[in-house]
């Protein structure tokens, strides 16, 4: 069903942007059909946020302000965070992306936090927690004369609750889990995601202190403290702990690190409380029960005739601050405590996207000193003008209620409307809507292959590059396909050298370049900068350690790294063919030497019932004298696609086993595949019929004494689980820039 024409002029949107909006943002009826056009959605948002002006001035020209907001959004000069686009003017009305909840050291406080988490996730928000207040495992519990199970066991409760809640709604729930480095269970926490089947709804970061980092530098021991009474319960060598963090990050990208003392150095309201946690992507430090409303300037829009249009940028910064302050009033908060704390501090987070686009338009390579210097200058301008706009609102509307005792009050500053003004968040789907590069990240690729549903492969090309290629006369479909396969312009001689110099991708820059850019933007950002430092698969542990140390020395507030292929099973389609041997290549080599086993007349077997979203699936596994031989499936519901696909799967598994393919390779290919109708939760969760078959095989092997040491971990979505497209790691989160899927949103 097509969307009815709107009386409002439609903004210019790419096909990808329209797909994302229709799938995730527009109001829909019970059958899933859109009830509004993109232009209607933008007008709905502009009207709702402008209406908040009447709270402060009954005579406010709301219609005029709404038109300003609408023009700013539909020109893509600025876009608010996804919950605001989705929910402004709708019944849910929850407009914030970021929340932090306290986790106290009692059963009542812990399960209150679980309940509040469910309410926030149901409304479309993500949550951050510090588990540092929980007493360590095996510590005494006086009320029961028993012992504590420790923070990690309670993290499982939060993870299971998120898994259940996230299946509904327009945004997935996501969590950040943080533990102080001096907590007695810190080593267990560092390793808690080594098994990738666990804590899939959490990003985790270790909270590092200045004392710890100094002990690392001096190769000294540091104290472990029981949070129950601050008593010393042991010591560890700081350098060994730091190396364990680095080793595990090299293995699969987690844990990240945050520098707690730096978060609190810039805490604007220390008299209200200590900052212990951040939102799921790490860029927004918050006090317990705080939320933050985010939005991003599209920097590529502010280049005019080869230079930055500073005057227009200033104007949009001021309008954006006005918009975000109004969001605080228009918001419907999921908890009264969040309403009260958010209104008391009125934190907003104005950030950026399109930084790589701006550099390209200015003909500045991303990995250059000039780019780093410009990033620092640009963010200082945005931060300064943002605070000026906040002070102007403060003079009209009053300072945030906790202003007295804040860092602004102590410095004798003028009235300040917002405790914080700037944040660099990952922009995920909103950068897709604006057809802009994401956050402050480099281009992921100049060209890549998009697989559509009928099996057709389409070449997607960066719009700035495509325009230049056509203007300069070197555009061809064949060249774009070559770029997509190559992953970089670096060695493609058909492209002029000046173009190759400017169109730098994530494949072309060093991890040190990432950190230098992150530090440049952090220097003039109130909160923090969300950025992923990408490493090639060949990176060493020592190189990861070097970047973590560099992040500390350059003033970053935290860092997230990702080593290519450390979690994903598939090589991205932009990688060079000769850089890595693929699974398919390995299997072809195996098939050359495979000898198919003949079927005996009689075999012994076991049948397992697996509950899928399409009904019960019965998986029968037969063995001959050499081991696993064949697999049959029967659906509880006869007929249909699910039954035929399951039968086909059984035939292929049987052929693989009879041809010498190991069971663990079969499990590796099937486990973790998702469908539209999963079933169960926690350890019993079945994502699809393929996932059910894989788990039946695992169960059979465990129950029949097979060696499970070599069994594969859960498939960690090398490709997008919704469209099969390229997944990019940004801000500690996996994002698909084809369909808009986000692991953290």
Of 48-57, 163-172, 455-464, 572-581, give the lowest mean pLDDT range: 572-581
Percentage of the chain modeled with pLDDT above 90:
59
Q: Measuring CA to CA, which residue among 73, 133, 143 is closest to residue 102? A: 133
pLDDT of residue 1: 33
**Phi and psi at residue 639, in whole multiples of 5°?**
75, -175
**Phi and psi at residue 565, in whole multiples of 5°?**
85, 0
pLDDT of residue 677: 77
- How confident is the model over 220-226, as a mean pLDDT? 97
Query: Quick one: pLDDT band at residue 81, thresholds 50, 70, 90?
Result: very high
Q: Half-sphere exposure of residue 351, counting CA atoms within 13 Å on the CB side?
A: 32
Query: Quick one: pLDDT band at residue 637, thresholds 50, 70, 90?
Result: low
Q: Which helix (H) or strand (E) holds 605?
A: strand 604-612
Q: What is the DSSP letter of 599?
A: P
- Say how far apart CA 165 and CA 389 lie, in whole Å: 38
- Say how far apart CA 344 and CA 573 lie, in whole Å: 48
Task: Count how many residues are written for the chain.
Answer: 745
Please indicate whether residue 664 or residue 26 has the higher confidence score (pLDDT). 26
Percentage of the chain modeled with pLDDT above 70:
86
Strands (E), 227-318: 231-237, 256-259, 277-278, 285-286, 291-298, 303-304, 307-308
CB 353 within 8 A of CB 299: yes
Query: Quick one: pLDDT band at residue 386, thresholds 50, 70, 90?
Result: very high
- How confident is the model over 66-86, as a mean pLDDT? 96
- How confident is the model over 100-108, as a mean pLDDT? 95
- Say how far apart CA 262 and CA 293 lie, in whole Å: 22
pLDDT digits (tens, 9 = 90+) for 485-514: 887 888 898 999 999 999 999 878 999 999
pLDDT of residue 578: 40
- Say how far apart CA 367 and CA 514 lie, in whole Å: 8
Give strand pairing partners of 349.
Answer: 294
Query: Residues with catalytic annotation?
Result: 279, 281, 283
- How confident is the model over 545-572, as a mean pLDDT? 82
Query: Quick one: pLDDT band at residue 582, thresholds 50, 70, 90?
Result: very low
577, pLDDT greater than 50:
no
Query: Quick one: pLDDT band at residue 673, thresholds 50, 70, 90?
Result: confident
Query: Quick one: pLDDT band at residue 143, thresholds 50, 70, 90?
Result: low
- Say how far apart CA 405 and CA 377 lie, in whole Å: 30
CATH code 3.40.640.10 for 98-278: no
66, pLDDT greater than 90:
yes
- Say how far apart CA 224 and CA 233 lie, in whole Å: 6
Q: How far from 86 is each of 123, 284, 323, 638, 671, CA to CA, in Å?
A: 11, 21, 16, 40, 33
163, pLDDT greater than 80:
yes
CB 565 within 8 A of CB 727: no
215, pLDDT greater than 90:
yes
Query: Quick one: pLDDT band at residue 417, thresholds 50, 70, 90?
Result: very high
Of 148-162, 212-226, 442-456, give the lowest mean pLDDT range: 442-456
118, pLDDT greater than 80:
yes
Q: How far from 165 is each of 32, 98, 673, CA to CA, in Å?
A: 20, 17, 20
Query: Quick one: pLDDT band at residue 724, thresholds 50, 70, 90?
Result: low
N- to C-terminal Cα distance for the chain? 27
Question: Mean pLDDT for the chain?
Answer: 86
> What six digits make up the tokens of 279?
């939102």
**Phi and psi at residue 227, in whole multiples of 5°?**
-65, -20
116, pLDDT greater than 60:
yes
- How confident is the model over 60-70, as a mean pLDDT? 96
572, pLDDT greater than 70:
no
pLDDT of residue 722: 59
CB 536 within 8 A of CB 391: no
144, pLDDT greater than 70:
no
pLDDT of residue 108: 94
CA 294 to chain centre: 15
pLDDT of residue 573: 35
pLDDT digits (tens, 9 = 90+) for 585-620: 333 333 333 455 778 888 889 999 988 888 888 999
pLDDT of residue 451: 58
pLDDT of residue 584: 33
**Sign of the dihedral through C-alpha 474, 480, 484, 486:** negative
645, pLDDT greater than 90:
no
8, pLDDT greater than 80:
no
């Amino acid at each position: 069903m097509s969307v009815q024409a709107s009386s409002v002029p439609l903004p210019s949107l790419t096909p990808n942007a329209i797909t994302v909006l229709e799938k995730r943002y527009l109001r829909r009826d019970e059958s899933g059909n859109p009830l509004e056009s993109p232009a209607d959605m933008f007008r709905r948002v502009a009207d709702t946020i402008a209406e908040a002006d009447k709270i402060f001035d009954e005579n406010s020209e709301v219609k005029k302000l709404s038109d300003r907001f609408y023009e700013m959004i539909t020109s893509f000069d600025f876009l608010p965070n996804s919950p605001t686009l989705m929910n402004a003017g709708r019944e849910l009305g929850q407009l914030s992306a970021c929340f932090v909840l306290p986790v106290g050291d009692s059963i009542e406080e812990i399960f209150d936090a679980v309940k509040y988490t469910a309410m926030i996730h149901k409304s479309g928000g993500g949550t951050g927690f510090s588990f540092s207040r929980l007493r360590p495992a095996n510590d005494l519990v006086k009320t029961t004369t028993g012992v504590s199970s420790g923070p990690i066991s309670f993290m499982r409760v939060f993870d299971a609750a998120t898994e259940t809640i996230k299946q509904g709604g327009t945004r997935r729930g996501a969590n950040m889990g943080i533990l102080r480095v001096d907590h007695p269970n810190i080593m267990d926490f560092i390793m808690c995601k080594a098994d990738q089947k666990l804590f899939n709804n959490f990003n985790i970061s270790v909270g590092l202190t200045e004392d710890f980092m100094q002990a690392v530098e001096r190769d000294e021991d540091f104290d472990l403290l029981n949070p129950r009474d601050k008593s010393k319960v042991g010591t560890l060598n700081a350098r060994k702990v730091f190396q364990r963090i680095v080793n595990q990050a090299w293995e699969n990208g987690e844990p990240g690190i945050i520098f707690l003392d730096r978060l609190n150095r810039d805490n604007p309201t220390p008299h209200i409380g200590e900052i212990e946690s951040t939102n799921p992507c790490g860029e927004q430090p918050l006090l317990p029960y705080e939320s933050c409303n985010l939005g991003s300037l599209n920097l590529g829009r502010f280049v005019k005739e080869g230079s930055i249009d500073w005057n227009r940028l200033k104007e949009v910064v001021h309008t954006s601050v006005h918009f975000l302050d109004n969001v605080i009033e228009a918001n419907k908060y999921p908890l009264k405590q969040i309403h009260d704390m958010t209104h008391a501090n009125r934190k907003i987070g104005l950030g950026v996207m399109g930084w790589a686009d701006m550099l390209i338009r200015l003909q500045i390579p991303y990995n250059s000193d000039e780019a780093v210097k410009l990033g620092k200058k640009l963010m200082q301008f945005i931060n300064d003008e943002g605070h000026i706009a906040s002070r102007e609102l403060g003079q009209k509307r009053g300072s945030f209620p906790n202003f007295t005792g804040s860092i602004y009050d102590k410095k004798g500053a003028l009235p300040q409307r917002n405790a914080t003004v700037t944040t660099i968040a990952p922009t995920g789907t909103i950068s897709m809507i604006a057809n802009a590069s994401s956050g402050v990240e480099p281009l992921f690729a100049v060209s890549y292959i998009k697989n559509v549903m009928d099996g057709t492969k389409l070449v997607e090309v960066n719009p700035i590059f495509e325009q230049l290629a056509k203007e300069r006369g070197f555009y061809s479909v064949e060249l774009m396909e070559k770029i997509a396969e190559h992953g970089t312009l670096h060695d493609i001689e058909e492209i002029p050298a000046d173009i190759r110099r400017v169109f730098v991708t994530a494949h072309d820059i060093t991890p040190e370049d990432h950190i230098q850019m992150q530090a440049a933007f952090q220097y003039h950002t109130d909160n923090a900068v969300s950025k992923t430092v990408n490493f090639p698969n060949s990176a060493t542990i020592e190189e990861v350690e070097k970047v973590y140390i560099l992040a500390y020395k350059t003033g970053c507030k935290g860092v997230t790294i990702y080593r290519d292929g450390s979690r994903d099973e598939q090589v991205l389609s932009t990688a060079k063919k000769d850089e890595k041997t693929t699974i398919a290549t390995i299997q072809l080599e195996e098939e050359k030497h495979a000898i198919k086993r003949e079927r005996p007349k009689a075999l012994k077997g076991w049948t397992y019932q697996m509950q899928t979203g399409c009904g019960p699936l019965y998986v029968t596994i037969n063995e001959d004298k050499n081991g696993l031989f064949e697999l049959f499936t029967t659906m509880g519901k006869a007929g249909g696609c699910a039954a035929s696909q399951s039968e086909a799967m059984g035939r292929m598994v049987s052929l693989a086993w009879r041809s010498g393919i190991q069971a663990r390779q079969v499990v590796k290919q099937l486990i973790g595949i998702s469908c539209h109708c999963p079933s169960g939760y926690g350890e019993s969760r079945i994502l699809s019929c393929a996932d059910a078959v894989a788990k039946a095989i695992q169960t059979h092997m465990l129950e029949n004494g097979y060696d499970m040491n070599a069994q594969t971990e859960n498939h960690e979505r090398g490709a997008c689980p919704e469209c099969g497209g390229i997944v990019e790691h940004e801000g500690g989160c996996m994002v698909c820039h084809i369909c808009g899927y986000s692991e953290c949103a």
